[in-house]
Chains A and B, each alone.
Chain A
């Protein structure tokens, strides 16, 4: 998957706050929400931003903490905008 790391190795709260602070178009989903064939891990409600055709989301790894990733994804962005989740 093509992605850009916007914020590395942080706490989940820091990542959630980063998304809420830096993006205008933010949607909130529950833990376990499926996007890009992954199930989101975190404390609900989990903020996901849409910026153009990119999706910005927090991504938790057991050994490395939480990251904010920017992932190109027109279909997922449209799904979030349409409220189909």
Chain B
């Protein structure tokens, strides 16, 4: 099983923590995990995990969209990190290009409009900016990510 974590702008601190946490969960379930993000988002992750315990494959966000569009790769499960309208655009793009089951990981201060805009994706949402605990509680509410792909 292959999973993609599509990171947004890393301006909210909880994103990096949530990314590492979800990657760890997916690794434990045996997923082949790829993380896509812009240079800053990927750099934050790699600097937080220097021995690559959690982060194994990374790629540039634009290259990821291109590879999905060209059908050069695909995933079973895709987490899109969303705290702004841009994240919703990336979620819609993944839904258009991939067969993956999508999970909208929504955080920030004003999450309700983002939840509404996420459509039929699985929603993991919490009001969280600096403290990742509320978001982690939502992530822990899912006992098996692999079950979502069946």
Give chain A's interface residues, CB within 8 Å of chain B. 11-13, 30-34, 38-44, 60-66
Contacts and interface: CB of A to CB of B under 8 A. Distances in A.
10 nearest A-B residue pairs (beta carbon)? A32-B69, A63-B9, A31-B93, A31-B96, A43-B92, A11-B85, A62-B9, A60-B89, A12-B89, A32-B97
B92 A65 contact: no
A44 B96 contact: yes
Interface stretch (B26-34, B50-58, B60-68, B121-129): B60-68
Interface string B37-53: 11011000000000000
B88 A39 contact: no
A6 B41 CA distance: 28
Contacts of B84: 65
Nearest to A43: B92
Nearest to B8: A62
Nearest to A30: B96
A12 B85 contact: yes
A11 B89 CA distance: 9
A41 B90 contact: yes
A58 to B, nearest CB: 9
Given A31-B96, A32-B96, A65-B84, A42 B89 contact: yes
Contacts of B9: 62-63
B11 interface: yes
Nearest to A11: B85
B92 A39 contact: no
A31 B97 contact: yes
B133 interface: no
11 contacts: A11-B85, A12-B85, A39-B66, A41-B90, A43-B92, A44-B92, A60-B86, A61-B86, A62-B41, A62-B61, A62-B86
